[in-house]
Amino acid sequence: VGTKGPREPWHDQHCRIDGPAAYDVLKNFEQRWQKATKWWEFGQRFKKVSHYHDDALLKLERISWILSPSPTIQNDDPILWVSEENDPKHWHVQ
């Protein structure tokens, strides 16, 4: 089995994911990253007690406020808005 494969769909698509689905995407990314990392399996055999890799990616369960941000926006003060969500000129890519 080679490390190369077909181009994954998220390489060509850009979108915004909110809520619990964003956490699922993060976990999928972590799993794929660890599988694809060349030296990850080698490092697993010689784990150090400090577990330096635990903080390599964010552990969202450690940051409770990031899982449930406030969904409310004050509609009476548009100056607080960064941009309109449905404004097409703000959906440009890199």
Q: Rounded CA gap, 58 and 37, in Å?
A: 17
SS3 label, residue 18: coil
pTM: 0.31
pLDDT at 87: 72
Joined together, the tokens standing for residue 3 give 């490390």
pLDDT at 88: 73
The candidate with the shortest Cα–Cα distance to 19, out of 61, 67, 62, 55, is 67
pLDDT at 72: 62
Tell me which residues of the chain have a pLDDT lower than 50: 1, 69, 94
Joined together, the tokens standing for residue 92 give 């440009």
Work out the burial of residue 30: count CB atoms within 10 Å of its CB; fewer than 13 is exposed, 13-18 middle, 19 or more buried. middle
Give residue limits of the domains in the chain.
18-61
DSSP-assigned letters across all residues of 28-51? HHHHHHHHH-TTHHHHHHT--TT-
pLDDT at 57: 67
